[in-house]
């Protein structure tokens, strides 16, 4: 039997998930980060940034529908949407599925990474970059929001975890969340990926939730299982007025039917409620969390193999 090559995805210094590699489609380094696209045995093509799997062809629909639709469905009429990151185009794809959307401003710092994804991951973006509603900027999302005075109904942070010296660690701080709050309309919603929520490895998730609570009066953590990540993944919904749990499952389904132009594979009314039902140990960890992430004291995750 031929010996397989394996990609080591380090979840923590003490935990690793292995993915068999059938082919390395692309490997290189941009101005901001390392980028690989590998053809894995279990999940098809995977986007890897700075040694961490960001998404896979097989199960990306779980992650992206979970990230986008709870906020888009809860908002009464989302027309203007801001996306930070999301260079593979799948978050954009899900946003554009909503017929109410008139304008999407997407800001990604890494044009080379976006171009690579457009070439090698067409099944993810599905032509979304060609939609006339899109304004695509290659810039630092924080600087862009600070410079521009635009207000948005939905702001989505689809950015990498806070890796030291990576391009996104200052997009996970209290100061940045305060800037985001000022760029939301009165009924605006912030939604974001908030890191791993697996037992014993949820420090980023709980710290992000606690930091959001220092900025927004309404914060709702949620999670779902993403197989290519090796377990559950955390998200957050934050707003000054809107509560996602005020919608019934039937109302969620009604809004999906009326608003979207595609059939969703993961998200519906029951899934909406299920994601917000966190287990007792995770609720307890959030309640015990004391850390507020700041510019002066940022949070970093473990990046790669232990020395």
Question: Which residues have a catalytic role annotated?
Answer: 158
Q: What CA–CA distance (Å, rounded) separates 108 from 85?
A: 5
Q: Answer whether 131's CB lies under 8 Å from 50's CB.
A: no
Q: What CA–CA distance (Å, rounded) separates 215 from 275?
A: 23
Q: What CA–CA distance (Å, rounded) separates 130 from 54?
A: 23
Q: Answer whether 244's CB lies under 8 Å from 272's CB.
A: yes
* Three-class DSSP labels, 118-180: HHHCHHHHCCHHHCCCEEEEECCHHHHHHHCCCCEEEEEEECCCCCCCCCCHHHCCHHHHHHH
Strand order in the sheet with 152-158: 134-138, 103-108, 80-85, 152-158, 184-196, 231-239, 218-226
Burial 4-35 (b: 16+ CB within 10 A, else e): eeebebbbeeeeeeebebeeebbeeebebbeb
Extract the tokens encoding 201. Answer: 């490895």
Extract the tokens encoding 101. Answer: 């959307």
Residue 157 vs residues 14, 119, 171, 176: alpha-carbon distances, Å: 28, 23, 8, 11
Q: What CA–CA distance (Å, rounded) separates 289 from 66?
A: 24
- Which element (helix H / strand E) includes 99? none
């Amino acid at each position: 039997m031929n010996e397989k090559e394996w990609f080591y995805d380090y979840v923590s210094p003490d935990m690793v998930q292995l993915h068999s590699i059938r082919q390395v489609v692309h490997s290189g380094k941009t101005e901001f980060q390392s980028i690989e696209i590998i053809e894995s045995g279990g999940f098809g093509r995977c986007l890897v940034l700075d040694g961490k799997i960001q998404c896979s062809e097989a199960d990306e629909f779980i992650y992206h529908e979970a990230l986008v639709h709870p906020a888009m469905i809860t908002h009464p009429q989302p027309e203007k949407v801001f996306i930070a990151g999301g260079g593979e185009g799948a978050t954009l794809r899900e946003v554009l599925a909503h017929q109410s959307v008139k304008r999407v401003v997407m800001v990604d710092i890494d044009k080379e990474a976006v171009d690579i994804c457009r070439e090698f991951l067409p099944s993810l973006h599905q032509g979304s970059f060609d939609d006339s509603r899109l304004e695509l900027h290659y810039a630092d999302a924080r600087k862009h929001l600070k410079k521009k005075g635009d207000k948005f109904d939905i702001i989505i942070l689809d950015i990498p975890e806070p890796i030291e010296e990576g391009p996104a660690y200052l997009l996970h701080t209290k100061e940045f969340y305060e800037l985001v709050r000022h760029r939301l309309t009165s009924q605006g919603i912030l939604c974001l990926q908030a890191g791993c929520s697996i037992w014993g490895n949820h420090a980023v998730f709980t710290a992000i939730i606690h930091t959001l609570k220092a900025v927004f009066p309404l914060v709702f953590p949620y999670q779902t299982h993403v197989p290519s990540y090796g377990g559950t993944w955390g998200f957050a919904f934050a707003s000054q007025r809107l509560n996602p749990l005020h919608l019934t499952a039937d109302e969620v389904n009604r809004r999906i039917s009326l608003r979207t132009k595609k059939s969703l594979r993961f998200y519906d009314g029951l899934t909406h409620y299920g994601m917000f039902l966190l287990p007792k140990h995770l609720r307890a960890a959030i309640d015990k969390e004391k850390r507020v992430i700041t510019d002066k004291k940022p949070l970093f995750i473990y990046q790669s193999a232990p020395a």
